Amino acid sequence: MATITVRMTTPPYQGFIAQEGLDFAMAATNFGHEVQLVFVGDGVTQLAAELTPPPGMKSHAKRLKALPFFDIEALYCCAQSMHARLAEDAAMAVVAEPLSADAIQELLNNSDHVVTF
């Protein structure tokens, strides 16, 4: 069993990157690995509450909210990226623990594998 950190670095609907990142994360826990998610850079915009997804696309926010059903509860975000991209009082779809850059680096160092989307 491995700890896999999945880094999300893109906005929710930029092609299929974010969607495939979640597919990957959910498949990992399905097959006996531990997964934690870290949202950095533009990836923090995935955490914001959305009104409606673009036509034809699966709601990314809904999938994030369903992560506990896939045994993924550890969600982290880059505090600096959050500050740069989202308003202080922005409504969030899910709660991710904000971490400093150093804390994120430590998280990555302590993971068995890191995969970036």
Partner 1 sequence: MQALTYCQQLVRDNHTIDQVFFYQDGVFHANAFMHPPSDEPNMVKQWAAFHEQTQTPLVVCITAAARRGVLSQQEAAELGYSAYNLLPPFSQTGLSEFFTALHDSDNLVQF
Which residues form the interface with partner 1 (CB under 8 A)? 1-2, 16-17, 20, 23-24, 27-28, 30-33, 113-117
In this complex, which beta carbon is closest to partner 1, that of residue 83 or of residue 113? 113
Q: How far is the CB of 23 from partner 1 (least distance, A)?
A: 7
Q: In what order do the strands lie in the sheet with 74-78?
A: 97-99, 74-78, 34-39, 3-8, 113-116
The answer to whether 30 and 70 are in contact (CB under 8 A) is yes
In the complex, least distance from residue 50 CB atom to partner 1, rounded to whole angstroms: 22
Cβ proximity to partner 1, 14 vs 100, nearer residue = 14
Q: Which is nearer to partner 1, 2 or 49 (CB)?
A: 2
